[in-house]
Chains A and B, each alone.
Chain A
Amino acid sequence: MRFRAPGEQEAQERAWAVVRRAYEEREPVAWPRRHVRPLAAAALVAVVAAAALSPPGRSVVHSLRKAVGVEQAEPALFSLPTHGDLLVTSRKGLWLVHRDGSKRLLGRYRDATFSPHGLFVAATRVNQLVALDTKGNVRWTLARPAPSRPVWSGTRTDTRITYLSRGQLRMVAGDGTGDHAIARRRAAVPDTAAIRRRGGQSEVLDRGRVVFRGTGSFEQAVRSPDGRWLLVTWPTADQWVFVRPGTPRRIVGASRISVQFGGFPRVQGWCCAR
Protein backbone atom coordinates (compact mmCIF):
# COMPACT_ATOMS: atom_id res chain seq x y z
CA MET A 1 0.00 0.00 0.00
CA ARG A 2 1.59 3.32 -1.04
CA PHE A 3 0.25 5.55 1.64
CA ARG A 4 1.24 8.73 3.39
CA ALA A 5 -0.69 9.87 6.42
CA PRO A 6 -1.87 13.50 6.59
CA GLY A 7 0.72 15.96 7.87
CA GLU A 8 3.41 13.30 8.06
CA GLN A 9 6.38 15.58 7.43
CA GLU A 10 5.22 18.37 9.75
CA ALA A 11 4.45 15.81 12.45
CA GLN A 12 7.91 14.34 12.01
CA GLU A 13 9.59 17.71 12.55
CA ARG A 14 7.47 18.52 15.61
CA ALA A 15 8.10 15.10 17.09
CA TRP A 16 11.81 15.28 16.32
CA ALA A 17 12.11 18.51 18.35
CA VAL A 18 10.64 16.72 21.39
CA VAL A 19 12.42 13.42 20.86
CA ARG A 20 15.81 15.08 20.25
CA ARG A 21 15.49 17.03 23.51
CA ALA A 22 14.62 13.85 25.39
CA TYR A 23 17.60 12.09 23.80
CA GLU A 24 19.95 14.95 24.69
CA GLU A 25 18.75 14.92 28.30
CA ARG A 26 19.36 11.20 28.77
CA GLU A 27 22.60 10.05 30.27
CA PRO A 28 24.06 7.19 28.23
CA VAL A 29 25.36 4.29 30.26
CA ALA A 30 28.24 2.33 28.73
CA TRP A 31 28.47 -1.11 30.30
CA PRO A 32 31.50 -3.17 29.33
CA ARG A 33 29.93 -6.57 29.89
CA ARG A 34 26.34 -7.57 29.49
CA HIS A 35 26.12 -9.66 32.69
CA VAL A 36 27.27 -6.71 34.77
CA ARG A 37 24.15 -4.74 33.83
CA PRO A 38 21.62 -5.98 36.38
CA LEU A 39 23.94 -5.41 39.31
CA ALA A 40 25.11 -2.08 38.01
CA ALA A 41 21.57 -0.94 37.26
CA ALA A 42 20.45 -1.96 40.73
CA ALA A 43 23.39 -0.08 42.21
CA LEU A 44 22.55 2.98 40.13
CA VAL A 45 18.93 2.88 41.26
CA ALA A 46 20.06 2.54 44.85
CA VAL A 47 22.43 5.48 44.51
CA VAL A 48 19.80 7.65 42.85
CA ALA A 49 17.20 6.61 45.42
CA ALA A 50 19.63 7.26 48.25
CA ALA A 51 20.53 10.63 46.75
CA ALA A 52 16.88 11.52 46.33
CA LEU A 53 16.09 10.41 49.87
CA SER A 54 19.06 12.13 51.48
CA PRO A 55 18.33 15.65 52.76
CA PRO A 56 20.38 17.35 49.99
CA GLY A 57 18.87 15.04 47.36
CA ARG A 58 15.35 15.74 48.55
CA SER A 59 16.12 19.39 48.49
CA VAL A 60 17.27 19.21 44.84
CA VAL A 61 14.17 17.26 43.77
CA HIS A 62 11.96 19.65 45.68
CA SER A 63 13.69 22.67 44.14
CA LEU A 64 13.28 21.26 40.64
CA ARG A 65 9.60 20.60 41.14
CA LYS A 66 9.11 23.98 42.72
CA ALA A 67 10.82 25.64 39.77
CA VAL A 68 8.42 23.87 37.42
CA GLY A 69 5.12 24.11 39.31
CA VAL A 70 2.77 27.01 39.93
CA GLU A 71 3.99 29.57 42.43
CA GLN A 72 2.32 29.89 45.82
CA ALA A 73 0.81 26.43 45.57
CA GLU A 74 -0.50 25.02 48.83
CA PRO A 75 2.01 22.63 50.41
CA ALA A 76 -0.64 19.88 50.33
CA LEU A 77 -4.16 19.25 49.09
CA PHE A 78 -6.20 20.98 51.80
CA SER A 79 -9.52 21.20 49.93
CA LEU A 80 -11.18 21.10 46.53
CA PRO A 81 -12.27 24.46 45.13
CA THR A 82 -15.82 23.39 44.29
CA HIS A 83 -18.54 20.83 45.05
CA GLY A 84 -18.12 17.12 44.49
CA ASP A 85 -15.85 14.24 45.43
CA LEU A 86 -12.87 13.00 43.44
CA LEU A 87 -12.14 9.37 42.73
CA VAL A 88 -8.46 8.71 42.04
CA THR A 89 -6.17 5.70 41.75
CA SER A 90 -2.53 5.47 42.71
CA ARG A 91 -0.08 2.64 43.43
CA LYS A 92 -1.75 2.25 46.83
CA GLY A 93 -5.20 1.73 45.34
CA LEU A 94 -8.46 3.64 44.99
CA TRP A 95 -9.02 6.86 46.94
CA LEU A 96 -12.13 8.96 47.50
CA VAL A 97 -11.28 12.63 48.11
CA HIS A 98 -13.94 14.87 49.67
CA ARG A 99 -14.30 18.58 49.16
CA ASP A 100 -12.81 19.34 52.57
CA GLY A 101 -9.60 17.53 51.54
CA SER A 102 -10.25 14.43 53.68
CA LYS A 103 -9.70 11.20 51.84
CA ARG A 104 -10.42 7.52 52.26
CA LEU A 105 -8.52 4.58 50.77
CA LEU A 106 -11.26 2.30 49.41
CA GLY A 107 -8.97 -0.63 48.63
CA ARG A 108 -6.66 -2.11 46.06
CA TYR A 109 -8.52 -1.40 42.85
CA ARG A 110 -7.31 -0.37 39.40
CA ASP A 111 -9.94 1.56 37.40
CA ALA A 112 -13.09 3.04 38.89
CA THR A 113 -16.21 5.06 38.14
CA PHE A 114 -18.88 6.82 40.19
CA SER A 115 -22.51 5.80 39.89
CA PRO A 116 -24.56 8.55 38.19
CA HIS A 117 -25.33 10.29 41.51
CA GLY A 118 -22.08 9.53 43.23
CA LEU A 119 -23.62 7.18 45.82
CA PHE A 120 -21.67 4.10 44.73
CA VAL A 121 -18.46 3.24 42.95
CA ALA A 122 -17.68 0.46 40.47
CA ALA A 123 -14.04 -0.59 40.48
CA THR A 124 -11.89 -3.30 38.94
CA ARG A 125 -9.44 -5.83 40.35
CA VAL A 126 -7.35 -8.34 38.42
CA ASN A 127 -10.31 -10.58 37.60
CA GLN A 128 -13.25 -8.85 39.26
CA LEU A 129 -15.67 -6.02 38.74
CA VAL A 130 -16.73 -4.75 42.19
CA ALA A 131 -19.49 -2.36 43.31
CA LEU A 132 -18.77 -0.46 46.54
CA ASP A 133 -20.44 2.18 48.63
CA THR A 134 -18.45 5.32 49.29
CA LYS A 135 -17.13 3.89 52.57
CA GLY A 136 -15.52 1.01 50.71
CA ASN A 137 -18.05 -1.71 51.66
CA VAL A 138 -18.43 -4.22 48.84
CA ARG A 139 -22.03 -4.46 47.55
CA TRP A 140 -21.48 -7.09 44.88
CA THR A 141 -18.73 -8.61 42.77
CA LEU A 142 -18.65 -10.11 39.31
CA ALA A 143 -15.80 -12.40 38.23
CA ARG A 144 -14.63 -11.51 34.74
CA PRO A 145 -11.17 -11.75 33.13
CA ALA A 146 -9.13 -8.52 33.29
CA PRO A 147 -11.97 -6.01 33.55
CA SER A 148 -11.07 -2.37 32.87
CA ARG A 149 -12.47 1.11 32.14
CA PRO A 150 -15.84 0.81 33.86
CA VAL A 151 -18.39 3.57 33.17
CA TRP A 152 -21.59 3.74 35.25
CA SER A 153 -24.50 5.55 33.62
CA GLY A 154 -28.27 5.81 33.78
CA THR A 155 -30.87 7.28 36.16
CA ARG A 156 -31.49 6.74 39.90
CA THR A 157 -33.75 3.78 39.16
CA ASP A 158 -32.12 2.22 36.12
CA THR A 159 -28.35 2.15 35.94
CA ARG A 160 -25.82 0.08 34.06
CA ILE A 161 -22.09 -0.36 34.06
CA THR A 162 -20.21 -0.86 30.83
CA TYR A 163 -16.65 -2.15 30.95
CA LEU A 164 -14.02 -3.92 28.90
CA SER A 165 -12.98 -7.50 29.52
CA ARG A 166 -10.25 -8.99 27.33
CA GLY A 167 -11.07 -6.56 24.55
CA GLN A 168 -14.78 -7.30 24.71
CA LEU A 169 -17.21 -4.52 25.62
CA ARG A 170 -19.73 -5.74 28.22
CA MET A 171 -22.63 -4.32 30.22
CA VAL A 172 -24.08 -5.26 33.60
CA ALA A 173 -27.03 -3.73 35.47
CA GLY A 174 -26.25 -1.51 38.46
CA ASP A 175 -27.31 -4.30 40.83
CA GLY A 176 -24.76 -6.69 39.31
CA THR A 177 -27.24 -8.76 37.28
CA GLY A 178 -27.68 -9.41 33.56
CA ASP A 179 -24.05 -9.18 32.49
CA HIS A 180 -23.69 -9.54 28.72
CA ALA A 181 -21.51 -8.50 25.79
CA ILE A 182 -22.58 -5.45 23.80
CA ALA A 183 -21.40 -3.78 20.63
CA ARG A 184 -21.02 -0.17 21.66
CA ARG A 185 -20.82 1.92 24.80
CA ARG A 186 -23.22 4.80 25.26
CA ALA A 187 -22.02 6.27 28.52
CA ALA A 188 -19.59 9.14 28.85
CA VAL A 189 -16.17 9.02 30.48
CA PRO A 190 -15.01 11.86 32.77
CA ASP A 191 -15.45 15.20 31.06
CA THR A 192 -11.98 16.26 30.02
CA ALA A 193 -10.46 19.27 28.30
CA ALA A 194 -7.75 18.94 25.66
CA ILE A 195 -4.06 18.77 26.50
CA ARG A 196 -1.54 19.76 23.88
CA ARG A 197 2.21 19.28 24.06
CA ARG A 198 4.51 21.82 22.40
CA GLY A 199 8.21 21.27 22.71
CA GLY A 200 8.93 20.80 26.38
CA GLN A 201 5.69 22.48 27.43
CA SER A 202 2.11 21.38 27.88
CA GLU A 203 -1.03 23.45 27.41
CA VAL A 204 -4.63 22.97 28.49
CA LEU A 205 -7.23 24.10 25.98
CA ASP A 206 -10.78 24.86 26.97
CA ARG A 207 -13.14 25.59 24.09
CA GLY A 208 -10.14 26.11 21.84
CA ARG A 209 -8.46 28.65 24.17
CA VAL A 210 -5.25 28.01 26.11
CA VAL A 211 -6.17 28.40 29.78
CA PHE A 212 -3.05 26.99 31.43
CA ARG A 213 0.50 26.29 30.36
CA GLY A 214 3.48 24.71 32.10
CA THR A 215 6.79 22.92 31.70
CA GLY A 216 6.84 19.15 31.24
CA SER A 217 3.80 16.90 30.91
CA PHE A 218 0.25 17.31 32.09
CA GLU A 219 -1.47 13.97 32.48
CA GLN A 220 -5.15 14.88 32.72
CA ALA A 221 -7.45 17.91 32.62
CA VAL A 222 -10.74 16.89 34.24
CA ARG A 223 -13.77 19.16 34.47
CA SER A 224 -15.59 19.64 37.79
CA PRO A 225 -19.23 18.52 38.11
CA ASP A 226 -20.43 22.14 37.93
CA GLY A 227 -18.31 22.68 34.82
CA ARG A 228 -16.54 25.76 36.22
CA TRP A 229 -13.16 24.30 37.18
CA LEU A 230 -10.56 22.10 35.54
CA LEU A 231 -8.27 19.87 37.55
CA VAL A 232 -4.93 19.66 35.72
CA THR A 233 -2.73 16.83 36.99
CA TRP A 234 0.94 17.63 36.54
CA PRO A 235 3.38 14.81 37.40
CA THR A 236 6.43 16.89 36.37
CA ALA A 237 5.71 19.35 39.18
CA ASP A 238 4.06 16.75 41.45
CA GLN A 239 1.10 19.12 41.62
CA TRP A 240 -2.61 19.27 41.08
CA VAL A 241 -3.64 22.62 39.65
CA PHE A 242 -7.27 23.74 39.76
CA VAL A 243 -7.96 26.23 36.98
CA ARG A 244 -11.14 28.27 36.66
CA PRO A 245 -11.01 29.40 33.03
CA GLY A 246 -13.63 32.19 33.34
CA THR A 247 -12.99 35.85 34.03
CA PRO A 248 -11.20 36.50 36.23
CA ARG A 249 -9.21 33.32 35.80
CA ARG A 250 -8.28 31.60 39.05
CA ILE A 251 -5.49 29.11 39.67
CA VAL A 252 -5.13 27.10 42.86
CA GLY A 253 -2.22 24.67 43.16
CA ALA A 254 -1.59 21.84 45.59
CA SER A 255 1.91 20.36 45.92
CA ARG A 256 3.47 17.07 47.03
CA ILE A 257 0.60 15.05 45.60
CA SER A 258 2.58 11.79 45.29
CA VAL A 259 3.37 11.68 49.00
CA GLN A 260 -0.30 12.12 49.87
CA PHE A 261 -1.54 9.30 47.67
CA GLY A 262 1.39 6.89 47.64
CA GLY A 263 2.38 7.64 44.03
CA PHE A 264 1.07 10.17 41.55
CA PRO A 265 -2.64 9.41 41.21
CA ARG A 266 -4.88 9.18 38.16
CA VAL A 267 -8.31 10.83 38.35
CA GLN A 268 -11.10 8.37 37.63
CA GLY A 269 -14.04 10.70 38.20
CA TRP A 270 -15.29 13.92 39.82
CA CYS A 271 -18.84 13.71 41.09
CA CYS A 272 -21.38 15.14 41.97
CA ALA A 273 -22.71 18.68 42.47
CA ARG A 274 -24.87 17.71 45.44
Chain B
Amino acid sequence: MAGSGRDERAWVRRAQAGSASDFEALFRAHWGPAYRAAYLVVRDAAAAEDIAQEGFLAAIRALDRFDRRRPFGPWLHRIVVNRAIDWARARALRPEAEQVDAPAPERAERDEELLAELGRLSPEHRAVIVLRYLLEYTPGEIAELLELPRGTVNSRLRRGLDTLKERL
Protein backbone atom coordinates (compact mmCIF):
# COMPACT_ATOMS: atom_id res chain seq x y z
CA MET B 1 0.00 0.00 0.00
CA ALA B 2 1.14 3.53 -0.66
CA GLY B 3 1.94 5.55 2.43
CA SER B 4 0.08 8.65 3.57
CA GLY B 5 0.72 11.91 1.76
CA ARG B 6 2.98 13.05 4.59
CA ASP B 7 4.97 9.76 4.55
CA GLU B 8 5.35 9.99 0.85
CA ARG B 9 6.58 13.58 0.83
CA ALA B 10 9.11 12.63 3.50
CA TRP B 11 10.30 9.62 1.50
CA VAL B 12 10.72 11.75 -1.61
CA ARG B 13 12.57 14.49 0.31
CA ARG B 14 14.97 12.04 1.93
CA ALA B 15 15.39 10.03 -1.29
CA GLN B 16 16.36 13.27 -3.02
CA ALA B 17 18.98 13.76 -0.31
CA GLY B 18 20.40 10.28 -0.95
CA SER B 19 18.60 8.00 1.53
CA ALA B 20 18.42 4.57 -0.11
CA SER B 21 16.04 3.23 2.57
CA ASP B 22 13.53 6.01 1.85
CA PHE B 23 13.81 5.42 -1.86
CA GLU B 24 13.17 1.73 -1.19
CA ALA B 25 10.06 2.64 0.84
CA LEU B 26 8.84 4.68 -2.13
CA PHE B 27 9.60 1.82 -4.51
CA ARG B 28 7.89 -0.83 -2.37
CA ALA B 29 4.82 1.35 -1.87
CA HIS B 30 4.33 1.98 -5.57
CA TRP B 31 5.65 -1.12 -7.32
CA GLY B 32 2.45 -3.16 -6.94
CA PRO B 33 -0.01 -0.62 -8.39
CA ALA B 34 2.41 0.33 -11.18
CA TYR B 35 3.11 -3.28 -12.18
CA ARG B 36 -0.58 -4.27 -12.00
CA ALA B 37 -1.64 -1.28 -14.07
CA ALA B 38 0.99 -2.06 -16.69
CA TYR B 39 0.03 -5.74 -16.68
CA LEU B 40 -3.67 -5.03 -17.15
CA VAL B 41 -2.92 -2.80 -20.13
CA VAL B 42 -0.31 -5.00 -21.85
CA ARG B 43 -1.41 -8.47 -20.59
CA ASP B 44 2.20 -9.66 -20.62
CA ALA B 45 4.06 -10.08 -17.34
CA ALA B 46 7.57 -9.63 -18.78
CA ALA B 47 6.57 -6.45 -20.59
CA ALA B 48 4.76 -5.15 -17.51
CA GLU B 49 7.90 -5.73 -15.45
CA ASP B 50 10.02 -3.83 -17.98
CA ILE B 51 7.51 -0.98 -18.18
CA ALA B 52 7.13 -0.58 -14.42
CA GLN B 53 10.91 -0.82 -13.97
CA GLU B 54 11.44 1.82 -16.66
CA GLY B 55 8.95 4.02 -14.82
CA PHE B 56 11.07 3.88 -11.69
CA LEU B 57 14.28 4.46 -13.63
CA ALA B 58 12.65 7.54 -15.15
CA ALA B 59 11.69 8.59 -11.63
CA ILE B 60 15.33 8.33 -10.53
CA ARG B 61 16.48 10.41 -13.50
CA ALA B 62 13.96 13.12 -12.60
CA LEU B 63 14.17 12.79 -8.82
CA ASP B 64 16.16 15.95 -8.22
CA ARG B 65 13.69 17.99 -10.27
CA PHE B 66 10.60 16.43 -8.72
CA ASP B 67 8.28 18.92 -7.03
CA ARG B 68 7.71 17.49 -3.53
CA ARG B 69 4.42 19.31 -3.16
CA ARG B 70 2.91 17.02 -5.76
CA PRO B 71 2.02 13.36 -5.12
CA PHE B 72 4.47 10.81 -6.49
CA GLY B 73 1.92 8.12 -7.46
CA PRO B 74 0.05 9.95 -10.23
CA TRP B 75 3.32 11.08 -11.76
CA LEU B 76 4.66 7.52 -11.83
CA HIS B 77 1.38 6.07 -13.08
CA ARG B 78 1.26 8.56 -15.90
CA ILE B 79 4.66 7.36 -17.15
CA VAL B 80 3.80 3.70 -16.69
CA VAL B 81 0.35 3.78 -18.27
CA ASN B 82 1.47 5.86 -21.25
CA ARG B 83 4.35 3.46 -21.89
CA ALA B 84 2.00 0.50 -21.50
CA ILE B 85 -0.40 1.99 -24.07
CA ASP B 86 2.50 2.52 -26.51
CA TRP B 87 3.66 -1.05 -25.97
CA ALA B 88 0.15 -2.49 -26.42
CA ARG B 89 -0.36 -0.48 -29.60
CA ALA B 90 2.95 -1.71 -30.99
CA ARG B 91 2.01 -5.29 -30.20
CA ALA B 92 -1.36 -4.85 -31.85
CA LEU B 93 0.60 -4.14 -35.02
CA ARG B 94 2.38 -7.48 -34.65
CA PRO B 95 -0.45 -9.95 -34.12
CA GLU B 96 1.83 -12.85 -35.05
CA ALA B 97 3.88 -12.21 -31.92
CA GLU B 98 0.89 -11.99 -29.62
CA GLN B 99 1.26 -13.93 -26.43
CA VAL B 100 -0.94 -13.69 -23.41
CA ASP B 101 0.16 -14.84 -19.98
CA ALA B 102 -1.80 -17.60 -18.40
CA PRO B 103 -3.77 -16.25 -15.45
CA ALA B 104 -2.68 -17.26 -11.96
CA PRO B 105 -4.33 -20.57 -11.03
CA GLU B 106 -5.77 -19.35 -7.73
CA ARG B 107 -7.69 -16.51 -9.33
CA ALA B 108 -11.46 -16.82 -9.29
CA GLU B 109 -13.04 -17.87 -12.57
CA ARG B 110 -15.11 -14.72 -12.77
CA ASP B 111 -12.01 -12.57 -12.39
CA GLU B 112 -10.30 -14.53 -15.14
CA GLU B 113 -13.21 -13.91 -17.43
CA LEU B 114 -13.22 -10.23 -16.60
CA LEU B 115 -9.47 -9.94 -17.14
CA ALA B 116 -9.67 -11.82 -20.42
CA GLU B 117 -12.39 -9.47 -21.65
CA LEU B 118 -10.45 -6.46 -20.41
CA GLY B 119 -7.54 -7.69 -22.52
CA ARG B 120 -9.77 -7.62 -25.60
CA LEU B 121 -10.49 -3.90 -25.25
CA SER B 122 -8.27 -1.41 -27.06
CA PRO B 123 -5.20 -0.25 -25.08
CA GLU B 124 -6.79 3.21 -24.70
CA HIS B 125 -10.00 1.81 -23.20
CA ARG B 126 -8.05 -0.63 -21.04
CA ALA B 127 -5.89 2.18 -19.68
CA VAL B 128 -8.77 4.38 -18.49
CA ILE B 129 -10.56 1.43 -16.89
CA VAL B 130 -7.38 0.36 -15.08
CA LEU B 131 -6.74 3.91 -13.87
CA ARG B 132 -10.33 4.34 -12.74
CA TYR B 133 -11.10 1.00 -11.11
CA LEU B 134 -7.70 -0.41 -10.12
CA LEU B 135 -5.83 2.76 -9.21
CA GLU B 136 -9.04 4.62 -8.29
CA TYR B 137 -8.32 7.91 -10.01
CA THR B 138 -11.23 10.23 -10.76
CA PRO B 139 -12.07 10.90 -14.42
CA GLY B 140 -10.66 14.40 -13.97
CA GLU B 141 -7.37 13.02 -12.68
CA ILE B 142 -7.22 10.50 -15.52
CA ALA B 143 -7.78 13.31 -18.02
CA GLU B 144 -4.84 15.15 -16.49
CA LEU B 145 -2.64 12.06 -16.34
CA LEU B 146 -3.20 11.06 -19.95
CA GLU B 147 -3.52 14.62 -21.26
CA LEU B 148 -6.96 13.90 -22.66
CA PRO B 149 -10.15 15.97 -22.61
CA ARG B 150 -12.42 15.01 -19.72
CA GLY B 151 -15.16 14.08 -22.19
CA THR B 152 -12.87 11.62 -23.95
CA VAL B 153 -12.07 9.92 -20.65
CA ASN B 154 -15.76 9.66 -19.80
CA SER B 155 -16.67 8.28 -23.20
CA ARG B 156 -13.83 5.74 -23.09
CA LEU B 157 -14.94 4.65 -19.64
CA ARG B 158 -18.55 4.39 -20.75
CA ARG B 159 -17.74 2.48 -23.94
CA GLY B 160 -15.25 0.22 -22.19
CA LEU B 161 -17.72 -0.67 -19.46
CA ASP B 162 -20.56 -1.15 -21.96
CA THR B 163 -18.40 -3.52 -23.98
CA LEU B 164 -17.41 -5.46 -20.89
CA LYS B 165 -21.03 -5.66 -19.79
CA GLU B 166 -22.16 -6.97 -23.18
CA ARG B 167 -19.44 -9.60 -23.30
CA LEU B 168 -19.89 -10.77 -19.73
Contacts and interface: CB of A to CB of B under 8 A. Distances in A.
A187 B95 CA distance: 9
Interface residues of B, number: 44
Interface string A12-37: 10111011101110101111000001
B48 interface: yes
B53 A18 contact: yes
Contacts of B90: 149, 189
Contacts, number: 100
A185 B24 contact: no
Given A7-B45, A12-B32, A19 B53 contact: yes
Interface residues of A, number: 37
A28 B18 CA distance: 6
A46 B18 CA distance: 24
Interface in B63-84: 63-65
B56 interface: yes
A31 B53 CA distance: 27
Given A15-B56, A26-B60, 7 more contacts: A3-B115, A5-B35, A14-B49, A16-B27, A16-B31, A26-B61, A30-B16
27 contacts: A3-B115, A6-B101, A8-B35, A11-B35, A11-B45, A11-B49, A12-B31, A12-B32, A14-B49, A16-B24, A16-B27, A16-B31, A19-B27, A20-B27, A24-B20, A26-B60, A26-B63, A28-B16, A28-B17, A30-B16, A151-B93, A167-B124, A169-B93, A188-B96, A189-B90, A189-B94, A197-B50
Interface of A: 1, 3-8, 11-12, 14-16, 18-20, 22-24, 26, 28-31, 37, 149, 151, 162, 164, 167, 169, 184-189, 197
Interface of B: 15-18, 20, 23-24, 27-28, 31-32, 35-36, 39-40, 45, 48-50, 52-53, 56-57, 60-61, 63-65, 89-90, 92-96, 101-104, 111, 115, 124, 133-134
